[in-house]
A and B are shown apart, each in its own frame.
Chain A
Amino acid sequence: KAGVTQTPRYLIKTRGQQVTLSCSPISGHRSVSWYQQTPGQGLQFLFEYFSETQRNKGNFPGRFSGRQFSNSRSEMNVSTLELGDSALYLCASSLVGTSGRYEQYFGPGTRLTVT
């Protein structure tokens, strides 16, 4: 079965712009989580969506937002981009959610560069 897909894979934006990243989970998975990975901060949890509702949120400013559609596909939006937003953005899907007994499947990520 197809894995988690993320589009685009690479993106270059300038400061002040906004960006939308897309994630398609594995078929049947209803939970989608987003993570930011940078060399300095490592992997950080952004938020999780389950059945179109945000269920968990990390410690990121309001410029970072997301949504989930009825087909479980998810989008993440970052407004007013800053240089520090340059990172690998990872999406992960799981069958039910981020509870202990269910593993998450990660996509390849979107590499965002802000200049």
Chain B
Amino acid sequence: LAKTTQPISMDSYEGQEVNITCSHNNIATNDYITWYQQFPSQGPRFIIQGYKTKVTNEVASLFIPADRKSSTLSLPRVSLSDTAVYYCLVYTDKLIFGTGTRLQVFP
């Protein structure tokens, strides 16, 4: 079962781009890579999902290299409201959350 490794915490300032990298060395051929955002006392919220190369939506981009052993969530121009915990997940037959990255955005 693939496991993910992420930095425990990151700090940034408003307006900056934030890149959070996740390692998933044991990813299987059919596994998708998904990122969730969680605020205190709320359930996680889906941000983006990808299988390979690059995926972009209205809130983030996800970069996945050819070997798929890592992925990078890119948040453009973060604001204070982006302060949250971000989870990288590799889908297999069940959703296994990693420890997450606590992003703190300062004014």
Interface residues in chain A, defined as those with a beta carbon under 8 Å from any beta carbon in chain B = 4, 33, 35, 42-45, 48, 56, 58, 88, 90-92, 98-101, 103-109, 111
| B46 cross-chain contacts in A, Cβ below 8 A | 103-105
Contact with A along B5-19 (1 / 0, CB 8 A): 000000000000000
A87-B46 Cα distance, complex, nearest whole Å: 21
A111-B96 Cα distance, complex, nearest whole Å: 21
CB proximity to A under 8 Å, residues B29-71? 30-32, 34, 41-46, 49, 51
Pairwise interchain contact B97-A100, C-beta atoms closer than 8 A: no
Pairwise interchain contact B31-A92, C-beta atoms closer than 8 A: no
Pairwise interchain contact A42-B97, C-beta atoms closer than 8 A: yes
| B94 cross-chain contacts in A, Cβ below 8 A | 33, 45, 48, 56, 58, 98
B103 nearest CB across to chain A (Å): 16
Q: How many of B's residues come within 8 Å of A, CB to CB?
A: 22
Write the chain A residue with the least CB distance to B93.
A56
B30 nearest CB across to chain A (Å): 7
* Pick from B42, B49, B87, B98: contact of A108, CB under 8 Å: B42
Pairwise interchain contact A104-B32, C-beta atoms closer than 8 A: no
CB proximity to A under 8 Å, residues B93-107? 93-100
A73-B87 Cα distance, complex, nearest whole Å: 26
| B99 cross-chain contacts in A, Cβ below 8 A | 42
B86 within 8 A of A: no
| B97 cross-chain contacts in A, Cβ below 8 A | 35, 42-45
| A42 cross-chain contacts in B, Cβ below 8 A | 97-100
| A43 cross-chain contacts in B, Cβ below 8 A | 44, 87, 97
Known: A43-B44, A111-B41. A101 touches B32 (CB 8 A): yes
Q: List 30 A-B contacts (CB under 8 A).
A: A4-B43, A33-B94, A33-B95, A35-B97, A42-B97, A42-B100, A43-B97, A44-B97, A45-B94, A45-B97, A48-B94, A56-B93, A88-B41, A90-B44, A92-B43, A92-B95, A98-B93, A99-B93, A100-B30, A100-B31, A100-B34, A100-B51, A101-B49, A103-B34, A103-B46, A106-B43, A106-B44, A107-B43, A108-B43, A109-B42
